[in-house]
Amino acid sequence: MVSERTRAKSGIVAKVESDDELADTMGQAHQFQLDLARENNSHQREMLKISKGWLGQFFGNDGLASTFAAMSALFLALVFAGVCAYLASKGGDNVELWKQMIDKCLTLATAALGFIFGRGIGGNK
């Protein structure tokens, strides 16, 4: 009389260690997963590039874009104030106009500087 356990053990076929067909299939499946992940990453990168737009490409991600825009405004305002100061130093009839322009440029520069340094105070980081 043979026990059920002995009968079940005799039904088990020994596993072959080198199954080439299985190895090929697993390799193809792994390559397919890599290709799928690469395609998904490429798609996400392309969608992010499109959603950022031209200025987003220049200024960076959402968290830093406003800071970089303010820094650009600060730099341009200071450069333009310098140009206005040079033109005002030349003299002529438009000295008052150049002084007003310098005042407006410095107002923009201080507003941009206040935005840059004031971002961390309100919790809007």
> Is 109 within 8 Å of 74 (Cβ atoms)?
yes
DSSP string, 36-47: HHHHHHHHHHHH
> Is 95 within 8 Å of 53 (Cβ atoms)?
no
Q: What is the mean pLDDT of residues 58-71?
A: 76
Integer-rounded Cα Rg, in Å, for the chain is 34
pTM higher than 0.75, yes or no? no
> Is 83 within 8 Å of 102 (Cβ atoms)?
no
For 3-46, the pLDDT digits (tens) are 787 777 776 765 556 778 888 888 899 999 999 999 999 988 88
Cα gap 11→78, rounded to integer Å: 87
